[in-house]
């Protein structure tokens, strides 16, 4: 295993408003919700992916609230690939192999 350097995504200019809206969405009350878990599992199958999840980014934390088999929980935003999606929502974000990216 090698050493990797991960550059965190920049914070969006409207991060305070976006983060507050995410907090107020009620999604954090749906951890392991069967409908969201089904979405994660279906996405994994359709995308032929090793893992898919439903995440909510609030402040400096990423909350994985549903998963296709991985860990549900809180993770640092600074190490999250999902933070790049929030930084540029109008652009597709594709990672072919997250284990080497």
Non-local CB neighbours of 55 within 8 Å, separated by 6+ positions: 62, 63, 64, 65, 80, 82
Query: Quick one: pLDDT at residue 40?
Result: 97
Question: Average pLDDT in the 57-78 region?
Answer: 94
Is 2's pLDDT higher than 60?
Answer: no
Query: Quick one: pLDDT at residue 76?
Result: 94
Predicted TM-score of the model (pTM): 0.85
Question: Average pLDDT in the 41-61 region?
Answer: 94
Question: Average pLDDT in the 43-56 region?
Answer: 93
Query: Quick one: pLDDT at residue 44?
Result: 95
């Amino acid at each position: 295993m090698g050493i990797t350097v991960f550059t965190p995504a920049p914070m969006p200019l409207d991060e305070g408003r976006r983060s507050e809206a995410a907090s107020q969405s009620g999604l954090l009350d749906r951890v392991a919700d069967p409908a969201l878990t089904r979405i994660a599992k279906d996405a994994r199958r359709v995308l032929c992916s090793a893992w898919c999840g439903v995440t909510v980014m609030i402040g400096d934390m990423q909350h994985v609230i549903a998963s296709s088999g991985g860990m549900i929980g809180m993770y640092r935003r600074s190490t999250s690939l999902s933070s790049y999606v929030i930084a540029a929502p109008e652009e597709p974000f594709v990672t072919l192999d997250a284990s080497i990216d």
